[in-house]
C-alpha cells in the first residue's frame, strides 16, 4: 500500500501534536499494514518535506477541517520540487461524519443531540479565506435542518465574526433556553482555550471538547486516503506516467 503521510497545522501547544499522533495511532489500528506517518506545516517536526524525503510515493492527507490557505498554498508550496510521486487528498472537511463527531462531543458533555431547547454555536478558528468561512456557515445550516435544535449559528475565533462571546450573547438575547458551544477544532490549544473562556464568560452553558481522535475522524482520514490512492492508481494506469501532485480542496 502507498504510504499515508498526514500533515497537520502544527502548534507550540504540545496537546495539538498529541491529538494528531493519537488520531493516526487509531488509523494504524483500523488499517493494519498501512504505513502511516505524521508531518506538520509549522512549529513541530517533521515538516512535510522531511516526512516525504525517504519515500518514493505517498498519499498526503491534510488534517485540516476546511480548504483554505494552508491547503491551497502552503501544502502545494511545500511539495514543489519533491521527488516522490505524491497525491494530495482533499481536507477532512466538510464531511457529514464531522457533524457526527461534533454531536459525539456534545453528548459526552451532557447535551441531548437535537434537543429543541438547546441552541448550538458552531465555532471555527476562522480564516482569511472567505470560502472557508462560508463552508462553516453551510455546515451550521445543514445541521440546523437535520436536527430540531433551537438554533445553530456560527462563530469564529479569528479573522471573521461574530466571535464566540457575541454569538452566545445574541442567542441569549433571542431567548434561547440553553446555549452550548461545539468547537469545529481538531485539537486543544490556543484557540480552543480562548473559545471556552470567552463563551463561558458570555453565558454559555457548556463548551464541548475539540474533535480530537474521534472514530469519525479515523473514518474520514481513511476515506480520503482510499479515494486519493485510487485516483492516483487510475491516472497512472491511464497515462503510464508518474502520479502528479494534486492540491487538496480540488
pLDDT of 83 reads 83
Mean pLDDT of the chain: 93
The total number of residues written for the chain in this structure: 250
C-alpha cell at 4: 499515508
pTM over 0.85: yes
Q: What is the pLDDT of residues 17-62, one digit of tens each?
A: 999 999 999 999 999 999 999 999 999 999 999 999 999 999 999 9
- Say if residue 91's pLDDT is above 50: yes
For 10, phi and psi rounded to 5 degrees? 95, 145
| For range 107-121, the mean pLDDT | 98
Vertex 16, ends 45 and 112: CA angle to 5°? Answer: 155
With H, G, I as helix, E, B as strand and everything else as coil, classify residue 92. Answer: coil
| For range 220-249, the mean pLDDT | 74
Candidates 82, 24, 54, 37; CA nearest to 213 is 24
pLDDT of 239 reads 64
Contact (Cβ atoms closer than 8 angstroms) between residue 31 and residue 87: no
Residue 126 confidence class, pLDDT cut points 50, 70, 90 = very high
| For range 80-109, the mean pLDDT | 95
Contact (Cβ atoms closer than 8 angstroms) between residue 10 and residue 17: yes
Rounded to the nearest angstrom, the gap between the alpha carbon of residue 106 and the centroid of all alpha carbons in its chain is: 17
C-alpha cell at 227: 479515494
Residue 246 confidence class, pLDDT cut points 50, 70, 90 = very low
DSSP 91: P
What proportion of the chain, given as a percentage, has pLDDT over 70? 94
Amino acid at each position: 500500500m502507498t504510504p499515508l503521510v498526514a500533515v497537520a497545522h502544527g502548534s507550540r501547544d504540545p496537546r495539538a501534536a498529541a491529538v494528531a499522533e493519537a488520531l493516526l495511532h487509531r488509523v494504524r489500528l483500523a488499517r493494519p499494514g498501512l504505513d502511516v506517518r505524521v508531518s506538520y506545516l509549522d512549529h513541530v517536526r517533521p515538516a512535510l518535506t522531511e516526512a516525504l524525503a525517504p519515500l518514493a510515493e505517498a498519499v498526503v492527507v491534510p488534517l485540516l477541517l476546511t480548504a483554505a490557505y494552508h491547503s491551497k498554498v502552503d501544502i502545494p508550496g511545500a511539495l514543489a520540487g519533491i521527488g516522490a510521486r505524491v497525491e494530495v487528498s482533499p481536507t477532512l472537511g466538510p464531511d457529514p461524519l464531522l457533524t457526527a463527531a461534533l454531536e459525539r462531543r456534545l453528548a459526552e458533555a451532557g447535551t441531548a443531540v437535537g434537543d429543541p431547547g438547546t441552541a448550538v454555536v458552531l465555532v471555527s478558528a476562522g480564516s482569511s479565506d472567505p470560502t472557508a468561512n462560508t463552508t462553516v456557515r453551510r455546515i451550521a445550516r445543514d445541521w440546523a435542518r437535520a436536527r430540531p435544535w433551537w438554533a445553530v449559528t456560527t462563530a469564529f475565533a479569528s479573522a471573521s465574526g461574530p466571535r464566540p462571546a457575541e454569538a452566545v450573547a445574541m442567542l441569549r438575547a433571542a431567548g434561547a433556553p440553553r446555549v452550548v458551544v461545539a468547537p469545529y477544532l481538531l485539537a486543544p490549544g490556543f484557540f480552543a482555550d480562548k473559545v471556552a473562556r470567552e463563551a463561558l464568560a458570555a453565558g454559555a452553558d457548556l463548551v464541548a471538547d475539540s474533535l480530537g481522535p474521534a472514530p469519525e475522524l479515523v473514518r474520514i482520514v481513511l476515506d480520503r486516503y482510499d479515494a486519493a490512492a485510487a485516483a492516483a492508481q487510475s491516472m497512472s494506469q491511464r497515462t503510464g506516467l508518474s502520479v502528479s501532485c494534486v492540491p487538496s480542496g480540488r
